[in-house]
Amino acid sequence: MPLVHISLQSGKSDVYRQAIFDGVYHAMRDALETPEDNQFMAITEHTSANFRFGGSYLDIARSEDLVFIQITLNNTRSSAQKKALFQRIAELLGDKPQIRSEDVFINLIEVEKENWSLGNGIAQYA
């Protein structure tokens, strides 16, 4: 049950943003075997004054096209699955909408399964 928050600088087209949604969703399906239609994602756009990053931290040359992708998910995935997810997201976003891999910044937040309510005030996984 991943919940995805994506942050980027404002000014990108609807097509560009939809390609990010699609790429992240397909990468989760491929690498994490996320069920079909398990799409809970939001994009937040920021002015350049409200979007700060280290342009060369860890010797990675980032540009103004940097995208932060934060995924909250159950703590049931292996290290290999996480690595595959990172690689697949960068690959798919490189294809469409053509984001350089250096500009794909991903963070996972793992939670216990009982920490979700997907509607109706019910803890569906507890």
Active site residue 2: yes
SS (H, E, C) 65-118: CCEEEEEEEECCCCHHHHHHHHHHHHHHHHHCCCCCHHHEEEEEEEECHHHCCC
Which one of 2, 6, 19, 20 is the catalytic residue? 2
- Distance from C-alpha of 21 to C-alpha of 42, rounded to nearest angstrom: 8
Catalytic residues, which ones? Answer: 2
